[in-house]
Amino acid sequence: MGSNMETLEITGQNLTIKDVVTTARYGRSVALSEAAIKRIEQSRSIVDRCVDESLIRYGITTGFGKFSDVVISKENNTLLQKNLVMSHAVGVGNPLPEEVVRAMMLLRVNALAVGNSGIRCETVNALINFLNRGITPVVPEKGSLGASGDLAPLSHIAIALCGMGEVYYAGKRMPAEEALKLADIKPVVLTAKEGLALINGTQCMTGIGALAVFDARKLMLTADVIAALTVQALKGITDAFDERIHRARGQKGQIECAEHMRELLKGSRLVTRQGEERVQDAYVLRCIPQIHGASRDAVGYVLDVINRELNAVTDNPLIFVNENDPSGGDILSGGNFHGQPVALAMDFLGIALSELANVSERRIERLVNPALSNKLPPFLVKDGGVNSGFMIMQYTAASLVSENKVLAHPASVDSIPSSANQEDHVSMGTIAARKARTILENAQNVLAIELLSALQAVDLRTESEGLGKSPQSVLSAPAAAVYGLVRSAVPMVDKDRIMYEDIEKVRRLIADGAVLRAAEQTLEIL
């Protein structure tokens, strides 16, 4: 796993979304920096002093939540931490994808590396061993309220470190105890504060969010590429993308999208100017910069929030070392575990992605509907009637965007008090993040259907109007490159065939960035 990548040094200060992707998705190895080790050891010394001197400090010598007034003896502290992670590991539902759990572990290591959590280095290194040795805890996807952190999901990681619960290892799902024996790793025995340090934070919602916003940025740019193909297939009017129009409004995402569209359409023989065939296009063509641009701005906002949260300390209480007296310091209770910043961002991301899918489905309708398609055959097929062509492709797209409209309802506007009303406002941020991930997958499928429809339309138009020897010869250079990529995997539809496999092939080309790379050879996603 990740053997050809340089080891990622964890400092607690400069983790990026790219670091999350390379580690979570491609197996990059990680290690603590020397400065991080020093900070961890300093904060740990303060915890040890509290225990030795029987000082009353939340989560260290007291119970949790509503039990914060219950003092725990020194003798019971190890049992307290074990009971904490066992009792909180109550997630339900399907397991989170392994890449998400790896992202959670990486983010937890990075947060602990800041040195405000009071954990031991050996416990942090146990998490690192899981990452580097390919041991991934089984974490059910449901059960987090997103305040007091992602308690249930993170507890499933914590119990695995202790040799309990289940993990994926060597391609199999197995008891954690068995995997640790196979990997020759000793289970962790948690001591004071360590259970709380492992489970109190926003790493589940942020891990999902980091991967989702990376993919969303890629999809956002790909949506422009696919829209440019549809514009050409429908002989769209390029005047709507004139720079002067968009400068006159001043919206950043809109200006950037219009510039992108001009580049993607440059040199096309299929596009028209206003007045040549019609004066104006429908909104789904004419307003691409305004619609896509707004989603572009939204994704930019989410990127900013997630980038900050990657290097945030989100557990409680926090330990602050006194620079002048390393043996002393302050232990302060606060609320950095509250997921509201991420919750709002994830809801916004879901809405922005829903809109990319909404407008894509309407462009599909224009392609398949003979009343709207500028002389293309009904449902993009020859011998219509005996062949249904792309008729039900549009149904599937419509179904997905309708589902997205339900999923786009904000999770962050809801709150249910917990822990006997001690925790009386929660963010539901992990629900928001999971919904955004589902909306993203639906949007990928809708755009895959649009891409297939646009290429089919280009094929039919080139042939029926005698425009050239090949469709690629009449397209802009970026569109021609995408045409070649997709047609190497999926041929034109001459007559009805099973097409669900075509959708999945193209969705994968979109998801892994192949479509974007074909259109723009030197592209940096983030």
Q: Which residues carry out catalysis?
A: 58
Query: Which phi-psi region, left, alpha or beta, contains residue 70 (left: φ > 0; alpha: ψ -120 to 50)?
Result: beta
47: closest CA among 313, 461, 330?
A: 330
Terminal C-alpha separation, the chain = 23
Measured between alpha carbons, how far is residue 480 from residues 267, 444, 474 in Å? 11, 21, 8
Asked whether 69 and 62 are in contact (CB, 8 A), the reply is: yes
The pairing of beta strand 30-32 with beta strand 8-10: parallel
DSSP-based three-state secondary structure for 175: strand
Q: How far apart are CA 226 and CA 249, in angstroms?
A: 24
User: Whole-angstrom Cα distance, residue 500 to residue 425?
Assistant: 44
Asked whether 150 and 203 are in contact (CB, 8 A), the reply is yes
Q: Which residues, in sequence order, are CB contacts of 347 under 8 Å at separation 6+? A: 408, 410, 411, 412, 432, 435, 436
- The two three-digit tokens of residue 261, written as one number: 């569209």
In the DSSP assignment, the letter for residue 423 is B
Q: Give me the DSSP letters along 144-158.
A: --SSS-SHHHHHHHH
Residue owning tokens 């307290």: 80
Q: What element of type H or E holds 430?
A: helix 429-464
List phi, psi (to 5°) of 18.
Answer: -60, -40
SS3 184: coil
Which has the closest alpha carbon to 454: 248, 186, 265? Answer: 265
Judge contact between 113 and 36, C-beta under 8 A.
yes
Nearest-10 Cα torsion for 453, 458, 459, 460: 90
The answer to whether 78 and 189 are in contact (CB under 8 A) is yes
**What does DSSP say about strands 318-322 and 30-32: parallel, antiparallel, or unpaired?**
unpaired
